[in-house]
Amino acid sequence: MSSISVDHVRLDGKLAVITGGGSGIGEAAARVFADAGATVVVTGRRLEPLQRVAKEIGGHAIACDVSDQAQVIDLFAQAKQITGKVDVLLNNAGGPGPIACVADVDMKAWVETMNINLVGAMFCLQEAAKIMSEQGSGSIINMSSLMGIQGYPMRSAYVASKFALIGITETMARELGAVGVRVNALMPGAVSGENMDRILERRSAAEGRPVHEIEKENYTDVAALKRWVTPQEVARAALFYASDLSSAITGDKMKVDCGRF
């Protein structure tokens, strides 16, 4: 019987593309992957934060709006030139979408959310699937959400996009398994950081309630561990899927939610 070695969690010699890599979970994952030995490409719409992260981890920064297919095609072409392969995709770019009831939601904002969270994710998945199929290996990690398996009031656009990513994950796992490519999904719960701070402020304005009340009632008190998830905790779960620790796992979805049953 073989035993677990440090090599199983290492990403030495592998190239990882992380969308939405300039902040939050994406930035945390870039640091975790780089610490594990990966060459990391961070991408997003704003070049300045990407360059900061890339400089600090010895990686590469490429500006890309994932909702623009031409930019995504160019992103993956550039990434592949670095080492000749793309070994890991953390499909993380996305936004929270409009905070409103279905009857009142701004449909322009709703569609824009789908274009980033779902259509943009698909553009990345297409390019990764082509490259990884040709090389006969790879790990794709789609960033869904706890709201990808249960509906949530006033978040219909985000919920719809994250539900869809779960189905796409299972579909691609079946499509790509025969060529040695694994596809899995992470489902974070409430993750601390600037993004969640903005959501709390918008919910407070929409519901006419103080932020601390919404935070306790909807996010921390309902979790078994009674706290927020940190971006670093989600990043470590992503490393599990990216590494050989999960070599027999595909089509899977993992909650990282401090026990929000």
Catalytic (active site) residue 158:
yes
Tokens 């770019």, residue?
93
Of 152, 158, 219, 241, which one is the catalytic site residue?
158
CA-based end-to-end distance of the chain? 36
Q: Name residues whose C-beta falls within 8 Å of residue 41's C-beta, 6 or more positions apart in sequence.
A: 15, 16, 17, 18, 21, 59, 60, 61, 62, 75, 78, 79, 82
Closest CA to 70 of 118, 18, 123: 123
41: phi then psi, degrees, rounded to nearest 5: -105, 115
Q: Name residues whose C-beta falls within 8 Å of residue 32's C-beta, 6 or more positions apart in sequence.
A: 232, 235, 236, 238, 239
Which residues are identified as catalytic? 158
